[in-house]
Amino acid sequence: MNTENRYERGLAKLREVDGRAGDRVIQSLEDIAPDFARYLIEFPFGDIYSRPGLDLKSREIAVVAALTAMGNATPQLKVHIHAALNVGVTQEEIVETIMQMAVYAGFPAALNGLMAAKEVFAQ
């Protein structure tokens, strides 16, 4: 696989998922870790998000669930709640996804996720 094609595919997918918010994340890394910014574009978005097996809505629901369950990734969770909304996930679906995580990750993780969602929805 051509590296440039992978980068360009990833950048296009990042913008499709996150809109211009993705560009801000990439720009925030340029002065400290530009290589990491490239990896972030190439692997998650150029390779994984670009696969045909799931639509973007399903992928973002999975990401919101995973980040909620982690319990220690609130900034990334907020970015992906925005992304989920951007690709057509409803607020109700996001809340239900986060609440489902109480069963598997515990009430504190779900509560933190709900507070992050509340902040994003208010914006």
Beta strands in 1-123 (DSSP E): none
Domains (range + CATH), the chain:
1-51 (no CATH), 53-123 (1.20.1290.10)
Q: Is the pLDDT of residue 1 over 80?
A: no
Rounded CA gap, 41 and 4, in Å? 11
The share of the chain scoring above pLDDT 70, in percent, equals 97
Rounded CA gap, 20 and 1, in Å? 26
Q: Taking the CB of residue 110, how many other CB atoms lie within 10 A of it? A: 21
CA-wise closest residue to 83 among 102, 53, 62: 62
Instruction: Read off the pLDDT of residues 2-49 as tens digits, 9 standing for 90 and up.
Output: 556 999 999 999 999 988 778 888 899 999 999 999 999 999 999 999
